[in-house]
Structure 1
């Protein structure tokens, strides 16, 4: 609940600041994050981006990603019984984006590179004991994707992003302001 509240406040602030500026866009994405457990986490992301003046193919983006459903894995151990491990991730990143717009106005591949604050939480528990660990750090994030522009304002976007041990695959909508 705490993460959802933080994500909501940050999203409202980011999207509110976008509405007042030209050459800006917002994205809302839903995806899957591989956190090295057998079941992937379900994640949601909000992106705010702005084209760089004088460089039509370049943009700067800020992205907030939160786990909506934890990644899970269960191990059977003869001494400890069934041990359930759950993992979640939260990221806040700043990216430089290069859009390959010269290929097509409708179908636009892109790549991105940036610095990302990554917070990973893990919990392990069995019927008697529960332990948790939280680790956060600044990492390099990189990714690639493709956007299909439906018209001047709306597009469908899909991307892959890797940040340390988290591999994230998203699909969502883009709105150009």
Structure 2
């Protein structure tokens, strides 16, 4: 009897749709590439998302990124360091479940980021607000754990950045 109950419990967990209504979070590594005035800057961040899936097609999502990889380059013989202090955002996410395991999504929202620049006795830090938009996919191994990959374009003031992220997803 216990083998039957165990098998039934495992089947119920595996049959639960991974994209049902509820809370989710993910965390991963994000690369950000800025191409500003013929200077390429590549930064890295640990980024997480926390959201609520309203139904199978819509979610509200928050984003927090903290810089972990800075960029240094030479400008007229002076070393200049650029770092991402933080990036925060709030998004509306539209999604299409392709199967019970695969979900494709697109998102758009408002973001705020702070960059710091130092070099040659100069130090400046500035935060700006703009928009973020992009698309990605989630693949769920079961109803509570999966992976996420996405592309986001940040258009903040006069700066634009292309970001790619891969991370682990946790559904509650």
The TM-score range, normalised by the shorter chain, is 0.7 to 0.9
Alignment of 1:18-29 (within 5 A): 23-29=22-28
Alignment of 1:110-149 (within 5 A): 110-123=105-118, 125=119, 129-149=120-140
Unmatched segments (≥5 aa) in structure 1? 1-21
Alignment of 1:6-85 (within 5 A): 23-36=22-35, 37-52=39-54, 55-75=55-75, 77=76, 82-85=77-80
Q: Which residue of 2 aligns with 1:95?
A: 91
> Aligned partners of 2:34, 2:60: CA distance in 1, in Å?
26
Larger Rg: 2
Number of aligned residues: 144
How far 1:70 moved relative to its partner? Answer: 0.8
SS at match of 1:35: strand
Unmatched segments (≥5 aa) in structure 2? 1-20
SS at match of 2:153: strand
How far 1:72 moved relative to its partner? Answer: 2.5
RMSD between aligned residues: 1.6
How far 1:87 moved relative to its partner? Answer: 1.6
How far 1:39 moved relative to its partner? Answer: 5.0
TM (norm. structure 2) is: 0.77
Match of 1:160 among 141, 147, 151: 151
Higher share of residues assigned strand: 2
Write the deviation string for residues 120-153 of structure 1: whole angstroms up to 9, x where unpaired.
Answer: 2222x2xxx3212222122111111111111111
Contact in 1 for aligned 2:114/2:126 (Cα 8 Å): yes
> Aligned partners of 2:121, 2:69: CA distance in 1, in Å?
19
> Aligned partners of 2:103, 2:83: CA distance in 1, in Å?
31
4+ residue runs of structure 1 moved beyond 3 angstroms?
Answer: none
